[in-house]
Structures are given as C-alpha cells and as structure tokens.
Amino acid sequence: MSVYWVGDIQGCDEPLGQLLDQIGFSVSRDQLYVLGDLVNRGPASLDVLRRLYSMGTSVQCVLGNHDLHLLAIASGARLPSKMDTLDEILQAPDKANLLHWLRHQSIALYKDQVLMVHAGVLPQWSLPETLALASELEGVLQSDASDAFFMNMYGNEPAQWQSQLKDMDRWRCALNAFTRLRFCSTTGAMEFETKEGTAKAPEGYLPWFEVPGRQTANITIAFGHWSTLGAVARDDVWALDTGCVWGGCLTALQRNHVHDKPQRIDIKCPHYQTPF
C-alpha cells in the first residue's frame, strides 16, 4: 500500500489522470489525500469531481476556498464570478450526487500521522483544537444551517481568533484560517491581501508555519493553497500547491510506510500557460 498527498488540482483533470497513471494508483490498495481546491479556474472541474467520486473510499479530500465557493454558488448564496469555470458542474445531470459528496468532505484530516488542511492552522491551535474546530465546521456544512452559513461565509473579519467567538464570527474566522491563511502575526491575526511568497511578508506578519511557539510545530502538516510558495517538504511542513492551473506542476508526495521520507512526484502542465 502506498499513500499519496496531492496539491491543488483546480479543474485540471488531464494532469490528475497522468499522475494516477504514472504512479499506478490502485483503488483497492492505495490511499490518496487531496489538499483542497479540487475545482475552478481549470478547464475540467466536472471531470475531476467525477473521477475522484468514482474512486470511492480510496480518496479523501479537505475542502478549499474554491470548493466552498462552488457549494455557495450551488446553494444560491453567491453568483459566479467572471473567472469561475464551474458552469459544467452546475448543469450536470449528476450534480446533486457530486455536490453531496463534496459537501461531506473534510475541513481537516489527521491520518497517517499527517495533519491535512487546505491553507493553514493558527499558531494557538493545538491538534485536538484544530480537529474539533474542523468537525464543528463540517457539522454546519452538512446541516440545514448550511445555506445561511454560505450567505455569511465571505469576509475577512474577525481576523483575530478568540475562543469566545460565537456563531458566524467563529465559523468564518476558523474557516478563513483553514482555507485562506498565508500570513499571520505572532498572536494569530490573519492578513489576506498578500499572495506572494515568504520574501514578500507584510510588516508584522510571518508565514503561519514560521510563527514561534506554534502549537502544532511537532506535527507534520500538509497543505496547498499557496502556489507562490512552491513545493516545500520539511519534516513539519509539506506545501504541495505548485500552480498546476497557472502552467506549473501538479505535485504529489508518496510514502509507503509511516516513517519513510516522502518521495515527490511532479506532473508538468505546459498547456496551461495562462489563467482561465
């Protein structure tokens, strides 16, 4: 059995198929974890969802900001933007099954001694707190309150996590950390404007994984979301968004045993030279 982690696919089904063919992925033997942003911007989001859905329990995903955006549009809480490439999903005859499957994916996963999120984890969150917050959000997304949640999901405030936050303020703040975080202060105040790499950190902010005293520093965290960061494979951090949809690569890590050093696999995407 091999375990694989793959970064943002963003509707690029052809590179995903090439990756699965290259590694000889077996749905009966292997496990694939997808680190969010399955859809949007790329040309084949519907094919990506259908492929992953068909692979059953051999695939588990965490939700990214683009995945949640799709669910918000499908619920009627948001209108598509000019950059979105989601119409094919929204018009598909199997839309209901695919969106139900997507809605029941995770916000965070801890499997094979790796914590998985789409974007980041605030420095004051321990592993149990991180998983409890993710479970809380998953419960909201899968409940009758989800439409109201999607109506109020967008926004940057509150940007500072406090445990006493309640209801939408609590959920929005936590979800922004899980799905949009790049830089934060030493106290965990989030900054959302900067999308460049670590050399462009705004004054007073650090990459979330470099904050001193981070409570999850002794845990390996795999994430995507940050294409300008590039691939990083430290003992404590695996960054796997290498900008497939922007003409980069679709990047995966492979591990056969829990104590093995992961091996990197890149599928080049030369035909995606400009943003969709």
Dihedral sign, Cα of residue 86, residue 5, residue 65, residue 230: negative
Contact 19, 45 (CB under 8 A): no
Query: Would you state the pLDDT for residue 94?
Result: 98
Phi, psi of 97 (to 5 degrees): -65, -40
Q: Determine the pLDDT at residue 261.
A: 86
185-244 tens-digit pLDDT: 999 999 999 999 999 999 999 999 999 999 999 999 999 999 999 899 899 999 999 999
Predicted pLDDT at 272: 47
Residue among 67, 21, 11 nearest 41 (CA): 11
Q: What is the mean pLDDT of the chain?
A: 95
Give the pLDDT score at 233.
Answer: 87
Query: 115: which strand partners?
Result: 110, 221
Question: Of 140, 116, 86, nearest to 225 (Cα)?
Answer: 116
pLDDT for 243 equals 93
The mean pLDDT value for 28-37 works out to 98
When pLDDT is cut at 50, 70 and 90, the band that residue 161 belongs to is very high
Contacts of 247 (CB under 8 A, 6+ apart): 269, 270, 272, 273, 274
pLDDT tens column, 61-84? 999 999 999 999 999 999 999 999
Are the C-beta atoms of residues 250 and 269 closer than 8 Å to each other? yes
Query: Residue 263 and residue 255: Cα distance in Å, rounded?
Result: 7
* CA–CA dist 202, 183 (Å, integer): 8
Q: Give the sign of the dihedral formed by CA 75, CA 150, CA 175, CA 9.
A: positive
Q: What are 227-275's pLDDT values in tens digits?
A: 999 899 899 999 999 999 998 999 999 998 877 889 999 998 755 444 4
Taking the C-alpha atoms of residue 239 and residue 218, their distance in angstroms, rounded to an integer, is 16
Q: What is the pTM of this model?
A: 0.96
Q: Does domain 3-268 have CATH number 3.90.470.20?
A: no
pLDDT digits (tens, 9 = 90+) for 108-158: 999 999 999 999 999 999 999 999 999 999 999 999 999 999 999 999 999
- CA nearest to 243, candidates 195, 205, 207: 195
Q: Cα separation of 110 and 236, whole Å?
A: 14
The structural domains of the chain, with segments of one domain joined by +, span 3-268
Q: Which residue has tokens 């969709």?
A: 276
Q: What pLDDT was estimated at residue 45?
A: 97
